Amino acid sequence: MKACQLDAGVNRVVVEVPALGFTWLPRSGPAGTPAMPTRMRLGDAKTLTIRNEFFEADVDSQTGGLKAIRDHKTRTNRLGQRLVFNPGSRPVCTNVEVTAVGPALGEIVSEGVLLGEQDQELAKFKQRFRAWLGRPLLEMRIELTPLQPAAGDPWHAYFGARFAWRDERTHLFRGQGGCSHLSIHPRPQTPEFLDLRYGPMATAIFPNGLPFHRKHDGRMLDVILIPEGETTATFDLGIALDRDQPMLTAWGLASPLAVVPTTKGAPHVGASSWLFHLDLPSLLLTKLMPGSVPGSDSLTAQFLECSGFPAHAELRCLRNPKRATLLNGHGDLIMDCPIFEDAVTIDVSPHDWVQVELNM
């Protein structure tokens, strides 16, 4: 456990779980256990700032949006954000409050209205920004209540989240099939991630399944939230800085961990361990399911190479596999994979999709 705090009867915890593994937590601790001390102040009401070890984010008291997000090393403002109605609007914040300052969570909540060109109310909004200790992701929750629904061409009439960056020389990459591709299109489409790169700095926006986006003026981009006919009103997005493999972060944001209540204690191997282990960060496990023979002690694993480079990987298993075979998309045998004790060797090509069956 990295951090915990108790807020009005709700216990908020930050737990480090090994990749492809588990962490066991007791339902309750010994009586008289003191509260966790604060390692760093995660929220500042005076400056409307939340922070953790990875970034610092300021919220704008006028618009209720993101004023700046910075890394601790360069202190460069990477990105700003506000809510918009296209073709024209301005957000007005009516209330902003720091609702948590640690030791596990820093949180700011803003509320306001979107005004049209004639100062008419178009929508009410609520935005929540969260920074968790030990988590390299700024979480954003947007709640929109349109008072005048969007109507017309969805590329021109919509409620959206507008992101802006400083330099027009910044290159925009979009996620496609887990990989990054340079995009110069005015309407880039991706549900995975948008990566802004300028020199050594990379700032990733995670739309969390929202696929349609529109660029403006070389240094602004809208994530389209509510076009005509959309009924969803709550959206979860994320921002992360300098992630080597943004697809892994996008996958983690879209597929939260499973929490399984149990009446038994931790297993004999300890309270935390891995069941499988991949030594290649760019190789994403997309599926793990029973093998092709019903009732057999076998598993089929599917992998996606996300870096665009050929690689050599090892998949270690919870016990020594008897056989490992490489399969094609139809499930037919291609070749056997080398095995050494608990490790299976996998060779992958750039942007490759690989399927391996393990007989345990």
Predicted pLDDT of residue 132:
95
Predicted pLDDT of residue 311:
86
| Confidence check: pLDDT of 33 > 80 | no
Phi/psi for 216 (5° steps) reads -135, 130
Predicted pLDDT of residue 333:
82
User: How far from the centroid of its chain's Cα atoms is residue 240's Cα?
Assistant: 8
Predicted pLDDT of residue 265:
81
Please give the mean pLDDT across all residues of the chain.
91
- Residue pointed to by tokens 């700003």: 80
Residue 2's pLDDT band, with cuts at 50, 70 and 90, is confident
> Tell me: the pLDDT tens digits for 313-345?
999 998 899 888 888 887 888 888 899 999 999
- Residue 325 DSSP code: E
Predicted pLDDT of residue 252:
87
Question: How many whole angstroms separate alpha carbon 195 and alpha carbon 79?
Answer: 12
Burial of 280 (0-12, 13-18, 19+ CB in 10 A): middle
CATH 2.60.40.1180 residue window(s) in the chain? 275-359
Position with higher pLDDT, 218 vs 56: 56
Of 138-142, 248-252, 290-294, 326-330, the range with the highest mean pLDDT is: 138-142
Predicted pLDDT of residue 159:
96
Question: How many whole angstroms separate alpha carbon 61 and alpha carbon 109?
Answer: 11
Residue 57's pLDDT band, with cuts at 50, 70 and 90, is very high
> What's the topology of domain 275-359?
Immunoglobulin-like (2.60.40)
Residue 308's pLDDT band, with cuts at 50, 70 and 90, is confident
> Tell me: the pLDDT tens digits for 69-90?
999 999 999 999 999 999 889 9
CATH 2.70.98.30 residue window(s) in the chain? 37-254
Predicted pLDDT of residue 138:
96
Residues 241 and 69 sit within 8 Å (Cβ to Cβ): yes
Question: How many whole angstroms separate alpha carbon 326 and alpha carbon 177?
Answer: 21
User: What mean pLDDT do residues 213-242 have?
Assistant: 95
| Confidence check: pLDDT of 49 > 80 | yes
| Confidence check: pLDDT of 191 > 80 | yes
User: What mean pLDDT do residues 191-212 have?
Assistant: 95
| Confidence check: pLDDT of 188 > 90 | yes
- Residue 232 DSSP code: -
Residue 32's pLDDT band, with cuts at 50, 70 and 90, is confident
Torsion angle, alpha carbons of 29, 35, 36, 38, to 10: 170
Q: Tell me the CA distances in angstroms from 205 to 37, 62, 221, 247, 273, one per residue in order.
A: 32, 23, 10, 11, 31
Of 147-151, 180-184, 192-196, the range with the highest mean pLDDT is: 192-196
Domain 37-254 has CATH 3.40.50.1100: no
- Residue 338 DSSP code: P
- Residue 189 DSSP code: B
Residue 42's pLDDT band, with cuts at 50, 70 and 90, is very high
The widest CA-to-CA distance across the chain, in whole angstroms, is: 72
Residue 267's pLDDT band, with cuts at 50, 70 and 90, is confident
- Single-letter amino acid, residue 308: G
Predicted pLDDT of residue 201:
94
Mind giving me the DSSP string for 18-38? -TTEEE---SS--TTPPPPPP
| Confidence check: pLDDT of 34 > 80 | no
> Tell me: the pLDDT tens digits for 100-148?
998 999 999 999 999 998 999 999 999 999 999 999 999 999 999 999 8
343-348, strands of its sheet edge to edge: 276-278, 311-317, 343-348, 339-340
By percentage, how much of the chain surpasses pLDDT 90?
58
